[in-house]
Amino acid sequence: MASLKLMNIEELLEEFDFLEDWEERCDFLVDLGFDLPDMAADDKIEENRVYGCQSNVWLKIDVKENTPPTIEIIADSDAMIVKGLISVLLTIYSGKTPEAILQTDVKSIFHQIGLDQHLSTARKNGLNGMVKRVRELAAQNV
């Protein structure tokens, strides 16, 4: 399996497509969570907290002043499966322009992975909260 750092969206979808059932996909999500870089304790503040999540989630966006500007996402959670979901979000959004983030059909990607069918309501709410937060921050930087 490819490392998250080397994966793009297409490769991520291929990895999930290769896995036969939700149990294997869930294990893969947890594995992705292990690859998630640690977030600095200084960034785990109330301002960066994502609400609506079952577990604690912090999400910070750093706008890189490239041409065009890109958005880097730093996030963390105290739950391994959520760390895996964060890794999926980073693969989808991090390093992209605000415009690309706003144009991405994330629901289609989640459907292809099976997240819309297999996550609990609380986890779906948390994932949607993270997506909403990223999209709001991207919209502020268009």
Instruction: Determine the CATH number of domain 4-140.
Output: 3.90.1010.10
Write down the pTM of the prediction.
Answer: 0.89
**DSSP state letters, the chain:** ---GGG--HHHHHHHHHHS-SHHHHHHHHHHHHHHSPPPPGGG-SGGGBPTT-SS-EEEEEEEE--SS-EEEEEEEESSHHHHHHHHHHHHHHTTB-HHHHHH--HHHHHHHHTHHHHS-HHHHHHHHHHHHHHHHHHHHT-
Active-site option among 32, 36, 53, 101 = 53
26 assigned to active site = no
pLDDT tens, the chain, 142 aa long: 444 555 888 999 999 999 989 999 999 999 999 989 889 999 999 999 998 777 899 999 888 887 888 999 999 999 999 999 999 999 999 999 999 999 999 999 999 998 888 888 888 888 999 999 999 989 988 7
Locate the domains of the chain by residue range. Answer: 4-140
